Structure formats: structure tokens, C-alpha cells
């Protein structure tokens, strides 16, 4: 690429950069406000969505308050009924199972009843002994704990725990003291005595529970297995653990889920360690047994478990020497994924001051649900979508299990004494509201996106139109410059030759003017006039095409004669500049209906470009032939060629490959190829170009052959071609 080509590309790059800069500025002025509009719209939608959700939540909270108030009234009415009947039982001093059965028969809400006597009830001496022993146990146990854990004095701790055995007769406290002693013996490494201690606990206190309501038998079994492992008796330890696993499952209904899980995990950990012992020959058999027990689920809680909970409450009140109050108390929890409710009323002693026993009831929650929920729905006149339930502090359902399609929308705590429950309001089809809002949000965002996209597309279209108009403006400006230059060149030649002839004629020796020289001058003047005529005709033709009024005179002509006539008319001009012509026109080309003058103009424009842009290799080849019922005319040169990026643009209005007026290839107004393509298309054909930079170009005219036989059915394109732009 020469220096001229470099400057052309540099100018194009500068123009493109300027257009790109203007486009970026314009897009930023549109995109920034549009993006801000989209963001603010999205925030407005989200804010409206949040406010609507809050309003909906608040309305359901108010609804939950009303429902909870109705629940409180119903539960209070039930509590008044229970209290009245319990007062009758207490007044009549009826404390037998028969009287309780009669009580339960009058109320379907009571599933099970419990009648417990306080420790030492009925004898003041026994009650005093019970309280004194518990106080002494607490004191000695605290002393032993300090010696065991704080100071590390294990013998001192052992002595403190044994002192409990010497001064306490209560089986529960003695069993706990034995467990403390066995624990210290394990820490001292006295495995034999520790084993004997826990075996004694298992024998004497198997059914006793500690103050945390845990069976001592499970603790004893586990510690026996630990001692046997430390003594190297692995088989015996595994057998002990199997017995423990069996008892744990059999009594799982009388213990909490937490206790069951704790001992089950401890059992499995110790068994896993023992199963890898080299002393075992039947490890796989033991492993299968443990896996079988592990696969069993915990039993449902039984009345024994509820009785132990109530007994723990009674012992607590007895130890704290609380005064008797005539009111119901409640226990509620979820064990093994099953909720329960225990209602209990303390029984007074003979003086009516202190607690002497406990009357408890397990409330049938299913019956409670059937009695309360339908009435609540009727009173509040709710829709079928709204569901109610009672939940605990962990939001676990108490009266039922909500369906998967129900969504918790509001909760409200009940009044005392049922404040451990909350009324929950569920809404069916929870996704409908969300889907509605999701649809609105999605629709809004899509509308915003479409608005933004339309703005961007409009901006792009505007920029492309503006760039096109700017391009046309530049082309028209170049056209004016080119027209001025092109008109000036032949006019200057004509004027110069006319003045030269005038000067020679005015001289005395004018008679000596050479006729050959005069003929030469006149020939140049004629050619320049022809050139000027062609330029003017090109401008006029382009103006007609732009206005859509270009007319063609279609007649049947012999293509070969028209082509040869145009070539012969152009040959002197080409040969004068040193060009060599190669003409290959097939004979007997079929007559076709076209405008001979217009097609001659097309051919002359192509030949003129071939001469203009050929420097080193001055050779032009013209071919005419028929192929597939089409007339093909090819004009090939070996000139400068056209770059690949410029090839699609050469038929555009006012476009010239080299726009600089100073180039030696300068000439024309950028309309020759534009007019040529318009004329060819008006004839129903097509003008195409192929070129390789530095090797030359080939322009091909492809026209349909229209013979006289087609006159009966003239192509409809004729009328259209007369005004085609």
C-alpha cells in the first residue's frame, strides 16, 4: 500500500472515530436516564410489593388477634368446667380410680387421668424426713462435686458420696449416690469396685429415676459395659450393650426423645469401638444385631412418661414447700414429633395449706381440635382458604399438621395460662399471592426492558440515519467539487484550443495553418465536448432517477451490433492512451428488447473506469455471450483493483474508491457505476463486480433475453423499469 492509500485509510479511521465518539455520547445521554428510569421503576415496584405484603401481614395479624381472643374464651370456658368438677372431687374427698373414671366419662376431652400422692403425704414425720433428706443430699452432692471437679480430690469426693448412703433412706437419692460413687471409682481406675457398684445399682434401683427423670438402669448398663471394656472383657461388654439396647427400645415410650437419642448414641459409639476387638470371633454377628436394634424407631410416649412428668412437678412443689392454690396448671411439649397437653391440679393436705397430691389429665388434642376449630371458623366467618392451628414456641403444630400448600401468615400468643401456645393462621395456595406479585413485577420489568430496548433501538436507528445523512452530505459535497473539476477540465481544454486556433488564424501567416493540426485540434474539441456531454447526461440521468422519472425506449436490437458500436466509439480514446483491446463477442447473439443508448452508456462508463484506474497493465477485455437464457457482458481490466472492504460500496451514490482530487486516478463524480446499475436493473438484469487489489477488476452485466416471441406476454417489469430508481 502506497502513501496515498495510507492517507485514505487514516482519513476513514478519523471519520469513524468521530462518528463513534458522537454515537457514544448520544447513547450515554439516552442510556443513563433510561437506566435510572428502569432502576427507579424497579424500586417502585419492589416498594409497592413490600408495602402490600406488609399490609396483608398486618391484616392477618389483626385477624389472628381476633381468632386468639375467641380461642382464649373457649379454653377459659373449658378450664372453668374442669375446675368445677375438680372442686367437687376434692370436696367429696373422692380420690379413687372409680371416681376418676366417672369424671372422665363426663368429658371427652380427657384421655387419661393421673392421681399422685406427694412424698410423705399423710404423715407429718414422713414429710419432714423427705424434705430433710433432700436437703442433706443436695448439700453432700454439692460438696462431692466441688471435690471431684474443682479440687480433684477424688477420695474426698468418694467419702462425701458414701456419707449420703449413711444418712439417706430415700431410694431415689440412694440410687443416685451409688451412681456418683461408681463414677469416682472409674476415675480412680478401680474398675472392679466400679463394676460391682453399677451392678448393685442395676439390681437395687433399676426402676428408679434421677432428678432429671432419667432411668438409672440405662446409666448403670452403660457404665457396666465401660468397666468390662477396661477390664478386657469385650464379649461381656457387648452382651451388656445388647441388653441395654433392648431395654432402651422396650421402655422408649416412657422416656423423652432426647434421653432415648442420648443413650442410643452412647451405646452405638461404645459398640463400634468394641466390635474391632481382636478377642471377638463373631464380630459380624454382633454388628448385625446392633444394626437391627438401631433400625427400630422409638415407641410413642406412654402414660408412664406423663406420670413421671407430673410426679416431677409434684416433687418440685413438695420440696419447695409451696402453698396450695386452687387452679389448674399445664404442661405442653412435643416428644417423638407428637404434641401433648397435660392439665393438673394440686390436691391440698388436711389443713388445706400445703400440697398433698396431684390430680392430672392428658387432654385429647384431637377432640380439642374438633371442638374448637369448627366453632372458630363459624364465629369468624372465614373463607375456605384460611386455616387455623395451635403451635408451640418453636412453631410446631399442636392440633394438626398443615398441608404443604398452606403458608403460615400470622401468629398470636394466647392468654395465660395457655400462653405457651400461639394461634397460627395459615393460608391455602401460598404461591398465588406471590405468583400474582411475581407476574406484576415480571411484567413491569419486561415493560421497562422493552422501553429501554426501544429507546436503544431508536437511538441506533437515529444514529445510523444521521451517519447515512452525514455520509450523503459528504458525498454530495464531494460531488459538487467533482462536478466543478470535471466540467472545468474539458472546458479548459476547449477554451485553450479555441484560443490557440484563433491566435494562429489572426497571424499573417495564418494560411500556413496545417490542416492536419487543425483537424487534430477540432478532434480534441469534439472529444472534450462529448466528454462534457456525457458528464451532463450523467448528472441529468441521476436527477431523473432520483425523481423517479427516468424513461427508457425499449426496442429490439442486435446485442452484438450495439456492443461493437460502443466499443468502436470508445476505441480511439483508449488507444490514444496506449490501451490494448481484446474483444470476444459471440456471433449470432439473440435479439433482445432494450434501450440501446442506455446500454451503450453503461458500457462506456465501465470502459471509462477501466482506463481511468489502469496504469501499468493497459489491457481491457470485453466478452459477450449467452448463458442459461441470459445475455452476459464482461469488462475486465488489469488495473489497480478494488479493496475487499470497498467492493460492496462502489455502487453507492457519489462513492469513489479514491476521494482525493489530487490523485492521478481522479476523475468522475461517483455516479458512473450507480447509473450503470440503475440502468441494468431497469432492464431486469444485474451488474456485479469481482476484483483483487493490485490485479484488476471484472464487471459483469447479466440481462434476460427477451425475444419477439415473448411479445404476446410482455414481462410486467417493463412498466416498472420505466420509472425504477
Peptide bond into 417 cis (omega under 30): yes
Contact 324, 352 (CB under 8 A): yes
Give domain status of residue 374, yes or no: no
Mean pLDDT of 559-564: 85
Cβ neighbours, 10 Å, residue 719: 10
Is the pLDDT at 717 greater than 50? The verdict is no
Contact 304, 310 (CB under 8 A): no
Give domain status of residue 396, yes or no: no
The whole-number pLDDT of residue 313 equals 84
Q: Tell me the residue length of the chain.
A: 725
Place of cell 481490466: 637
Mean pLDDT of 452-473: 72
H or E, element range at 333? strand 329-335
The whole-number pLDDT of residue 331 equals 84
Top mean pLDDT of 299-303, 448-452, 700-704 is at 700-704
- Select from 194, 166, 192 the least CA-distant residue to 182: 194
Top mean pLDDT of 108-117, 145-154, 664-673 is at 145-154
User: Which grid cell is 33?
Assistant: 436516564
Those residues whose C-beta lies under 8 Å from the C-beta of residue 496, and which sit 6 or more positions away, are: none
| 563/495 same-domain check | no
Mean pLDDT of 562-581: 82
Give domain status of residue 122, yes or no: no
725 vs 80 pLDDT, higher one: 80
DSSP 563-631: HHHHHHHHHHHHHHTT-EEEEEEPSSPPPEEE-HHHHHHHHHHHHHHHHHT-SSS-EEEEEEEE-SSEE
Q: Which of 250, 269, 299 is the last residue of a domain?
A: 299
Those residues whose C-beta lies under 8 Å from the C-beta of residue 503, and which sit 6 or more positions away, are: none
Average pLDDT over the chain, rounded to an integer: 76
Mean pLDDT of 418-446: 65
What's the order of all strands across the beta sheet hosting 422-427?
386-391, 422-427, 407-413
Top mean pLDDT of 45-49, 148-152, 411-415, 528-532 is at 148-152
| 603/706 same-domain check | yes
Residue numbers of the domain that contains 475: 432-516
| 479/610 same-domain check | no
The whole-number pLDDT of residue 30 equals 66
DSSP 369-433: HHHHHHHHHHHHT--TTEEEEEE-TT--BSS----TT-EEEEEEEPPTTSTT-EEEEEESSHHHH
How many angstroms separate the first and last alpha carbons of the chain? Answer: 36
- Select from 546, 4, 106, 117 the least CA-distant residue to 360: 117
Give domain status of residue 565, yes or no: yes
Least confident piece of the model among 110-114, 443-447, 662-666: 662-666
| 176/232 same-domain check | yes
Query: In terms of C-beta density within 10 A (0-12 exposed, 13-18 middle, 19 or more buried), how is residue 452 classed?
Result: middle
Residue 232: which CATH number? 1.25.40
| 199/257 same-domain check | yes
230 vs 315 pLDDT, higher one: 230
Least confident piece of the model among 429-433, 462-466, 473-477, 594-598: 429-433
3-state secondary structure of 343: strand
Mean pLDDT of 670-683: 81
User: Over pLDDT 70: what percentage of the chain?
Assistant: 74
| 593/690 same-domain check | yes
Give domain status of residue 358, yes or no: no
The whole-number pLDDT of residue 92 equals 58
Q: How does pLDDT run across 138-184, given as a tens digit for each residue? A: 899 999 999 989 999 999 999 999 999 999 988 888 999 999 999 99
The whole-number pLDDT of residue 124 equals 53
d(CA 316, CA 243) in angstroms, rounded, equals 33
| 699/554 same-domain check | yes
Give domain status of residue 72, yes or no: no
Is the pLDDT at 535 greater than 60? The verdict is yes
DSSP 148: I
What's the order of all strands across the beta sheet hosting 580-585?
580-585, 619-626, 630-637, 696-704, 686-692
The dihedrals phi and psi of 633, each to the nearest 5 degrees, come to -125, 125
721 vs 264 pLDDT, higher one: 264
Please state the pTM of the whole predicted model.
0.48
3-state secondary structure of 190: coil
Least confident piece of the model among 103-117, 185-199, 325-339, 629-643: 103-117
CA–CA distances in Å: residue 306 to residues 83, 93, 145: 20, 24, 31
| 691/603 same-domain check | yes
Give domain status of residue 91, yes or no: no
| 281/188 same-domain check | yes
d(CA 579, CA 117) in angstroms, rounded, equals 134
User: Over pLDDT 90: what percentage of the chain?
Assistant: 11
d(CA 162, CA 157) in angstroms, rounded, equals 9
- Select from 429, 390, 428, 398 the least CA-distant residue to 64: 390
Give domain status of residue 279, yes or no: yes
| Angular region, 336: left φ>0, alpha ψ -120 to 50, beta rest | left
171 vs 488 pLDDT, higher one: 171
Indicate the angle between helix axes 515-547 and 596-612, nearest 10 degrees: 110
Contact 697, 687 (CB under 8 A): no
Those residues whose C-beta lies under 8 Å from the C-beta of residue 374, and which sit 6 or more positions away, are: none
The whole-number pLDDT of residue 227 equals 93
| 467/612 same-domain check | no
| 705/576 same-domain check | yes
Residue 661: which CATH number? 3.30.565.10
- Select from 592, 579, 111 the least CA-distant residue to 367: 111
The whole-number pLDDT of residue 421 equals 82
| 574/685 same-domain check | yes
- Select from 577, 579, 594, 674 the least CA-distant residue to 633: 594
Instruction: Say how many domains are in the chain.
Output: 3
Q: Which of 265, 299, 333 is the last residue of a domain?
A: 299
Q: How does pLDDT run across 184-229, given as a tens digit for each residue? A: 999 999 999 999 999 999 999 988 888 777 889 889 999 999 999 8
Q: How does pLDDT run across 613-623, given as a tens digit for each residue? A: 887 788 899 99
Contact 154, 187 (CB under 8 A): yes
Amino acid at each position: 500500500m502506497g502513501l496515498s492509500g495510507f492517507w485514505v485509510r487514516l482519513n476513514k479511521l478519523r471519520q469513524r472515530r468521530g462518528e463513534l465518539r458522537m454515537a457514544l455520547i448520544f447513547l450515554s445521554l439516552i442510556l443513563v436516564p433510561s437506566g435510572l428510569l428502569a432502576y427507579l421503576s424497579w424500586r417502585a415496584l419492589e416498594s409497592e410489593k413490600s408495602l402490600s405484603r406488609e399490609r396483608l401481614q398486618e391484616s392477618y395479624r389483626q385477624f389472628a388477634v381476633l381468632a386468639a381472643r375467641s380461642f382464649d374464651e373457649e379454653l377459659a370456658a373449658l378450664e372453668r368446667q374442669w375446675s368445677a368438677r375438680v372442686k367437687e372431687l376434692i370436696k367429696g374427698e373422692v380420690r379413687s380410680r372409680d371416681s376418676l373414671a366417672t369424671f372422665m366419662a363426663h368429658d371427652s376431652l380427657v384421655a387419661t387421668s393421673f392421681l399422685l400422692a406427694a412424698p410423705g403425704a399423710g404423715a407429718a414425720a414422713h414429710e419432714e424426713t423427705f424434705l430433710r433428706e433432700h436437703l442433706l443430699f443436695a448439700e453432700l452432692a454439692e460438696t462431692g462435686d466441688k471435690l471431684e471437679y474443682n479440687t480433684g480430690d477424688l477420695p474426698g469426693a468418694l467419702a462425701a458420696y458414701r456419707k449420703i448412703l449413711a444418712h439417706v433412706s430415700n431410694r431415689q437419692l440412694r440410687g443416685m449416690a451409688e451412681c456418683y460413687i461408681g463414677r469416682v471409682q472409674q476415675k480412680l481406675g478401680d474398675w472392679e469396685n466400679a463394676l460391682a457398684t453399677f451392678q448393685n445399682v442395676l439390681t437395687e434401683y433399676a426402676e428408679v429415676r434421677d432428678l432429671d427423670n432419667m432411668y438409672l438402669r440405662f446409666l448403670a448398663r452403660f457404665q457396666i459395659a465401660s468397666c468390662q471394656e477396661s477390664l478386657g472383657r469385650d464379649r461381656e461388654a457387648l452382651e451388656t450393650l445388647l441388653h441395654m439396647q433392648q431395654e432402651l427400645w422396650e421402655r422408649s415410650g416412657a422416656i423423652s426423645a432426647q434421653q432415648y437419642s442420648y443413650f442410643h448414641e452412647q451405646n452405638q459409639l461404645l459398640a463400634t469401638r468394641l466390635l474391632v476387638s481382636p478377642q471377638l470371633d463373631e464380630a459380624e454377628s454382633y454388628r448385625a444385631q446392633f444394626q437391627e436394634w438401631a433400625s427400630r424407631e422409638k415407641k410413642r410416649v406412654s402414660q408412664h412418661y406423663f406420670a413421671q412428668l407430673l410426679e416431677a412437678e409434684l416433687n418440685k412443689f413438695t420440696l419447695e414447700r409451696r402453698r396450695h392454690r386452687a387452679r389448674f396448671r399445664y404442661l405442653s411439649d412435643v416428644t417423638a414429633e407428637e404434641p401433648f397437653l397435660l392439665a393438673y391440679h394440686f390436691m391440698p393436705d388436711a389443713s388445706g395449706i400445703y400440697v398433698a397430691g396431684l390430680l392430672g389429665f392428658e387432654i385429647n388434642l384431637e377432640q380439642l381440635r374438633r371442638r374448637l376449630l369448627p366453632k372458630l371458623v363459624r364465629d369468624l366467618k372465614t373463607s375456605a382458604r384460611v386455616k387455623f392451628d395451635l403451635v408451640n414456641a418453636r412453631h410446631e403444630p399442636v392440633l394438626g399438621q398443615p398441608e404443604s400448600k398452606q403458608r403460615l401468615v400470622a401468629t398470636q400468643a394466647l392468654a395465660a395460662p395457655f400462653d405457651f401456645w400461639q394461634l397460627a393462621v395459615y393460608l391455602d395456595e401460598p404461591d398465588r399471592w406471590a405468583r400474582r406479585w411475581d407476574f406484576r413485577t415480571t411484567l413491569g420489568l419486561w415493560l421497562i426492558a422493552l422501553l429501554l430496548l426501544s429507546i436503544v433501538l431508536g437511538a441506533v436507528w437515529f444514529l445510523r440515519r444521521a451517519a447515512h445523512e452525514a455520509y450523503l452530505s459528504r458525498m454530495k459535497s464531494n460531488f459538487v467539487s467533482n462536478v466543478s473539476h470535471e466540467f472545468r477540465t474539458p472546458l479548459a481544454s476547449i477554451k485553450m484550443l479555441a484560443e490557440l486556433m484563433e491566435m494562429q488564424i489572426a497571424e499573417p501567416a495564418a494560411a500556413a495553418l496545417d490542416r492536419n493540426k487543425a483537424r487534430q485540434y477540432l478532434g480534441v474539441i469534439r472529444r472534450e465536448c462529448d466528454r462534457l456531454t456525457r458528464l451532463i447526461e450523467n448528472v441529468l440521468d441521476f436527477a431523473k432517477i432520483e425523481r423517479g422519472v427516468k424513461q427508457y425506449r425499449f426496442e429490439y436490437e442486435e446485442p452484438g451490433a450495439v456492443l461493437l458500436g460502443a466499443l468502436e466509439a470508445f476505441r480511439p480514446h483508449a488507444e490514444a492512451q496506449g490501451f490494448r483491446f481484446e474483444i470476444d463477442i459471440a456471433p449470432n447473439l439473440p435479439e433482445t428488447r432494450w434501450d440501446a443508448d442506455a446500454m451503450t452508456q453503461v458500457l462506456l462508463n465501465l470502459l471509462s473506469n477501466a482506463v481511468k484506474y489502469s496504469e501499468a497493465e493497459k489491457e481491457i477485455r470485453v466478452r459477450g455471450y449467452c448463458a442459461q437464457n441470459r445475455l452476459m457482458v464482461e469488462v475486465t481490466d488489469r488495473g489497480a483493483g478494488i479493496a475487499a472492504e470497498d467492493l460492496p460500496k462502489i455502487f453507492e451514490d457519489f462513492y469513489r474508491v479514491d476521494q482525493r482530487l489530487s490523485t492521478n486516478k481522479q476523475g468522475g463524480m461517483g455516479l458512473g457505476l450507480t447509473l450503470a446499475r440503475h440502468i441494468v436493473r431497469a432492464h431486469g438484469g444485474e451488474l456485479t463486480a469481482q476484483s483483487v487489489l493490485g490485479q484488476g477488476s471484472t464487471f459483469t452485466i447479466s440481462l434476460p433475453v427477451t425475444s419477439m416471441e415473448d411479445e404476446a406476454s410482455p414481462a410486467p417489469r417493463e412498466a416498472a423499469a420505466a420509472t425504477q430508481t
